[in-house]
Amino acid sequence: MKLKSFNYFLGLLIIFTHLSAMGEEKIDIWKNKKKTETESSIEEKTKIEKKINLDSSQQIEAPSQIQIQESSEISADEAKVYGIYDPENFNFNLNMWSSTKADDLRSSLKRINKIELSRSSKEILEAILFSFSYPPPGMSEKEFVDLKINWLIKNDRSELIESFLKQNERFESKSKAVQYLVDKNIASANIKEGCEKIKFIDAKIKDSYLEKFKIYCLVFNNKKSEAQLLLDLLREQSQSSKFYDDKINFLLNVTEKTNINKVNEKNLLNFYLSSITIPKFKYEPTNKTKPEIWEYLNAANLIKLEDASDKEKLKELEIAANNGQLDKNKIFEIYKQIPFNLNALINAKDNYQSLDQSDARALIFQKYLLSEGNKNKIEYLLLLEELFKKDDLVNVYSKFLSDKIEEIGVKNLPEKYQDSAKARIQSEDDALLGKVKFNDKILHQSKVIKYFIEGEDKKKTQKDIDRIFKKISKNKKYFVSAKDLALADALIKDGFSLPSNFKYEELSKKFNIPKNLLKLIDTDQKAFLALKIVEIIGEDEPYQLDSETIYFVTNLLNKMNLIILRNKVLNSALPLRT
């Protein structure tokens, strides 16, 4: 009897142990792509922690400096999705590309890459591209990630590359992304900060370039014994080179001098090593010089015009500055160095026309610096603008001119110069939205829009709707614009009641929405529709679009429940701002 009891309890113990083990077994919910929509929704909410909560009126923000850290919040291998943002932040989901053909995505991005996108367009595009999602059918995970990384590199979005690296532990092009960050630090001549980011270069990344940078950082931080060990290992693997060995041996004090004094431009690290090891280093950049080398030369102050009479060299530097390769301020520093006698400076307006174009600009620039009185200053500034335009070098000068006019102050100039001076001001914040000025006489500028801009209480907003619509209906001459309809459409979408005498359906019939875009709604191509809207907005801010375009863009976003992106468009397009 005792034996039977023992066997009974032993059996129960085995059963419970087995059940417990089964409960602890890991389930990969990311790899099972055939789950129901309900299960998928739950998994999305529980598997992805929210990364950035972007308010509809805010831009996508990221760290202003490169700060590299390891992260294991979402394992890219495990998840099979790659991104930065929780898709729910923008009303997307993990399957946002599931109904879109890979070729359609490729073609759209190819067109977008040819456009100089506005700030708002870039923010919307980044929300689309960097929300965690599966790739579209017909596109491999590798191509999908490469597409994202290549876009970030092309657009110099180092802070977003860092965010991507933090949140996607393993992907095939990781070494390319890390090398970009490494080169950004070298190019800025900030090696100390670059070496502090070395933790991204781990055993998972097998890349000789990054290993060489790691070894140099050990030398830089005076950890020479560790550097020697890694260098020996690199040589054993045949991953080093004659050039690199020569430079590191010299820096390690293994050799008394470097034996290779020819500048190596193969990559930025080699160029940097050349610059710090070659005695009296001198390098003349050309139009074929790589952008990252130009950037390093600028940052390290290695571009100088030793002979002010070398006009050909000066012209080369002016062209480089105009093309964005050389710091534009360098040109004005050179202009200061060109010698002119006192008579030439006194009679600059008469003498400049007989000079070489570069000398003419230098003379007028120096005359501007010596001028007293705002009238004289603006005259020389505008004359200098003409001289830059004459040689198609306006990019060198436009920002300088804008800054100097702002320093003087438009109101401090003679009245006849004020309009032209104001038109030349280029503010870095041109794209930023100003303060809203409400106008209750016009529906889309009224206090009703506080709901979208400030998050006004729904009850208060409904009262404003009733009041404003009543006021407008009394004005028999009031014309309901496309912007008014865009607002009305958004209010209806968000559950507000409009007065029965406001015939929205009837009024909206006079505006046609492109059929190819409506088709994307029928086929549930939410992400691709948003991408098409980026194409439509393009280089403009939403407030620069015509009223009809604003209406059909917001209407499409409403139909696809892309409310966050819709609010971003509305906040730019509708209000009157100061």
For the chain, which ranges sit under pLDDT 50?
1-79, 428-431
Predicted pLDDT of residue 430? 42
The single-letter code of the amino acid at 399 is K
Tokens 């000789």 belong to residue: 208
Maximum pairwise Cα distance, the chain: 125
Q: How far apart are CA 564 and CA 57, in angstroms?
A: 9
Q: How far apart are CA 553 and CA 121, in angstroms?
A: 13
The structure's pTM equals: 0.69
Predicted pLDDT of residue 369? 93
Q: How far apart are CA 27 and CA 45, in angstroms?
A: 16
The first and second tokens of residue 568, run together, are 């971003």
SS3 letters across 316-347: HHHHHHHCCCCCHHHHHHHHHHCCCCHHHHHC
Contacts of 222 (CB under 8 A, 6+ apart): none
Measured CA angle at 100 (ends 96, 103), to 5 deg: 130
291 in Cβ contact with 206 (< 8 Å): no
Helices (H) and strands (E) in the chain, counts: 30, 0
Distances (CA, A) of 433 to 76, 237, 424: 37, 56, 19
Q: How far apart are CA 74 and CA 550, in angstroms?
A: 37
Q: How far apart are CA 33 and CA 98, in angstroms?
A: 11
Helix (H, G, I), strand (E, B) or coil at 214: helix
325 in Cβ contact with 187 (< 8 Å): no
Contacts of 92 (CB under 8 A, 6+ apart): 128, 131, 133, 526, 527, 562
Contacts of 25 (CB under 8 A, 6+ apart): none
Tokens 């009394």 belong to residue: 474
Closest CA to 548 of 458, 481, 488: 481
Q: How far apart are CA 215 and CA 198, in angstroms?
A: 10
Q: How far apart are CA 164 and CA 83, in angstroms?
A: 6
What phi and psi values does residue 524 have, to the nearest 5 degrees?
Answer: 60, 45
Closest CA to 130 of 61, 205, 222: 61
Distances (CA, A) of 143 to 92, 137, 150, 382, 563: 21, 12, 10, 50, 29
Which pairs with CB-CB distance under 8 Å and at least 24 residues apart come from 259-264? none
185 in Cβ contact with 194 (< 8 Å): yes
163 in Cβ contact with 63 (< 8 Å): yes
Instruction: Dump the DSSP string for 68-125.
Output: -----SS-HHHH--B-SB-GGGGT--TTTTTTS-HHHHHHHHHHHTTS---HHHHHHH
95 in Cβ contact with 133 (< 8 Å): yes
Predicted pLDDT of residue 201? 62
Predicted pLDDT of residue 51? 36
